[in-house]
Structures are given as C-alpha cells and as structure tokens.
C-alpha cells in the first residue's frame, strides 16, 4: 500500500495517509490515561475494550467485529465530546428525515475533514480535536 494514498475501508470511510501511525496493535493496547492494559470484552452490542484500571479509570473504546479498536481509549468527558463531534459532522453526510439533502457523501465528508483538520477518525480525537471538528463544520463554506 502506498504511503501517501488515501484508503477507503469497507464502510466507505476514508483514511487519509498523514504519516501518522495507526493506533497500537491490540496485543499491547494500553490505556492512554493510566497506562493499564486494555481488555477486550463483549456485550449485546458487540466487542469493546475497557481499561483494566476500572473502576479507577473508566476509559473504553468500541471495537470492530474482529476486535480491532475503533479508536483510542476515552473517558466519559471525551466520549461526550466525540458524540457531539459525530452529531455535528455526521449531518454533512447522513441522510434522514431531518436532513434529507446532506451536502456530501460519507466518503466526501471524511476526505473534507482530513483536508480541514488532518483528522481521520473522530474516535481517535482528543477534546481539542473534537472542538476543531465542530468548528470546521460550523464554518464550512458550501462548495
Ligand atoms: Zn485507564
């Protein structure tokens, strides 16, 4: 795979190559807050990772069906920021009754986000990056 090529995964989500390493592989996946190992768990919604420092640390992150983490661990406040960023960002592409004519496809929206903010996935964002996502969408100029 070329180092500079954008990649599109099976969900149509664009991963923009930025020279940034993907998150740590699951066999040494540790909590970014406390350093404790992350443990893969399963519930009715599927697999997810939780910090073994719980209850002192409530960091967690969802997982793909094969167990790969969807992003970096997040504590409650960061999870709220990520939900807010997704709510705002997803309106660029998600079609529903309240948003019948979104301005972009999902692929276009992630490509746009990568150009605006160098952010590839909201699930990898910290609080400030979530704020940048929200601000970038708010100030977006229709093309
Ligand atoms: Zn932790």
What's the 21 CA to ligand 1 centre distance in angstroms? 21
Whether residue 79 is found in the same domain as residue 118: yes
Return the pLDDT at 3: 40
Whether residue 85 is found in the same domain as residue 66: no
Return the pLDDT at 9: 52
What's the 77 CA to ligand 1 centre distance in angstroms? 14
What's the 7 CA to ligand 1 centre distance in angstroms? 30
Instruction: Write the pLDDT tens digit of every residue in 47-79.
Output: 999 999 999 999 999 988 888 888 999 999 999
What is 18-39 written as a DSSP string? -SPPPPPPGGG-B-TTT-PBEE
Task: Please identify every stretch of the chain with a pLDDT value under 70, giving residue numbers as ranges.
Answer: 1-27, 143
Domains of the chain: total: 2
Q: Do residues 77 and 85 make contact, with C-beta atoms less than 8 angstroms apart?
A: no
What's the 94 CA to ligand 1 centre distance in angstroms? 33
Q: Is 117 helix (H, G, I), strand (E, B) or coil?
A: helix
Q: For residue 132, what are the domain limits? A: 1-16+75-143
Whole-model pTM? 0.75
What's the 142 CA to ligand 1 centre distance in angstroms? 41
Q: Do residues 127 and 81 make contact, with C-beta atoms less than 8 angstroms apart?
A: yes
């Amino acid at each position: 795979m070329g180092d500079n090529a954008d990649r599109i995964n099976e969900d149509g989500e664009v991963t923009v190559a930025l020279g940034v390493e993907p998150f740590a592989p699951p066999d040494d996946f540790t909590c970014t807050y406390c350093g404790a190992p992350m443990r893969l768990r399963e519930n009715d919604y599927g697999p997810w990772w939780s910090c073994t420092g719980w209850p002192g640390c409530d960091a967690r992150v969802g997982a793909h069906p094969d167990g790969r983490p969807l992003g970096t661990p997040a504590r409650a406040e960061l999870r709220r920021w990520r939900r807010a960023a997704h709510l705002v960002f997803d309106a660029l592409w998600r079609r529903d009754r309240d948003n019948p004519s979104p301005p972009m496809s999902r692929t276009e929206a992630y490509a746009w986000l990568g150009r605006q903010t160098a952010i590839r996935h909201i699930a990898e964002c910290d609080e400030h990056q979530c704020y940048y996502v929200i601000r970038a969408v708010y100030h977006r100029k229709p093309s």
